[in-house]
Amino acid sequence: MESIQFRKPETVDEAVKLLQGADGDARILAGGTDLLVQLRAHMIDPGVIVDIKSIAETRELTKNDDGSYTIGAAVAGAEAHERDDITADWPGVIEAWDLIGSTQIQGRASLGGNLCNASPAGDSVPAMVAAGMTANIAGPDGRRTLPVEKITAGPGKTNLKKGEFIVSFNLPAKPSNGGDAYLRLIPRTEMDIAVVGCGAALTLDESGTVTSAKISLGAVAATVLVVEDAAKAIIGTKLEPEAMSALDAACQAACNPIDDKRGTVEYRTKVAGVLGRRVVSIAANRAGKN
């Protein structure tokens, strides 16, 4: 391994210049819980590592006047979990983030890192997508915003251009009568990679009819999936058995998983339907309690 330059800029512009000017691979360091493992395993060989944790914007979690949240890309899961406001408004996002690793990992693991590591099984990603989160990206051409589901391009790959990084995320204001949830299946009780992960966010009217829904699956394709047919299956219903069967079928139909030691194609596909049902039930229950 050649020597690696380590930089710790204090502004977004400085970080962009470092990323843009780097010869070869340049990597952002947030919590380092993926990056350092990959470095030690010689899976990556960056020329420059840019630690973004001294940039204030990446470290702030703010509830805005309109009820939305701005979440710095390097905020750690443990910090978010301690906040009563976001935990009450978006329990699905927080429970997905909180599933990442152990207590030690939680003290470091960021949403930016979980997303940009681009594992198809990243736990926070389906929950972020279901909640309608967007990423605020800084780069040589200025700032741009992309829906979270547009960030990953495949395992280990993102759609970020040279010099770009995610500064923060927008999480919309919680809709009235809205609820969200995330569930994953792992072969062990904790500290494992999802066989399937599923996030859902929905709203109900006063009669309990679903008025809007977004359902997302992880670990069943190269990138996170938005399952529009699953949302269509339940919008306008009170989650009667037929609607739940149609939702289950839509989740299964969307899957294009791999076979590996954690699960076969058939198993992952079946589990996607089961998790879809369960996660929607939890989200609806939460929405009904608003």
Residues that bind ligand FAD (CB under 6 A): 27-35, 37, 73, 99-101, 105, 108-110, 112-114, 116-117, 122-123, 160, 165-166, 191
Closest CA to 287 of 263, 279, 251: 279
How near is the Cβ of 129 to ligand FAD at its closest, in Å?
14
Sign of CA dihedral 94, 200, 138, 39: positive
How near is the Cβ of 39 to ligand FAD at its closest, in Å?
9
Q: Could you tell me if 196 and 242 are in contact, meaning their C-beta atoms sit under 8 angstroms apart?
A: no
How near is the Cβ of 58 to ligand FAD at its closest, in Å?
7
Name the strand (E) or helix (H) holding 180.
Answer: strand 178-185
CB nearer to ligand FAD: pick between 130 and 202: 130
How near is the Cβ of 26 to ligand FAD at its closest, in Å?
8
CB nearer to ligand FAD: pick between 160 and 201: 160
How near is the Cβ of 237 to ligand FAD at its closest, in Å?
31
Closest CA to 149 of 177, 99, 115: 115
**By beta-carbon distance, which residue lies closest to ligand FAD?**
113
Q: Could you tell me if 217 and 196 are in contact, meaning their C-beta atoms sit under 8 angstroms apart?
A: yes
CB nearer to ligand FAD: pick between 70 and 211: 70
* Euclidean distance between CA atoms 169 and 173, whole angstroms: 13
CB nearer to ligand FAD: pick between 92 and 112: 112
Q: Which stretches of the chain are DSSP H helices?
A: 12-21, 35-40, 77-81, 84-89, 91-98, 103-106, 111-116, 124-130, 228-234, 241-254, 265-288
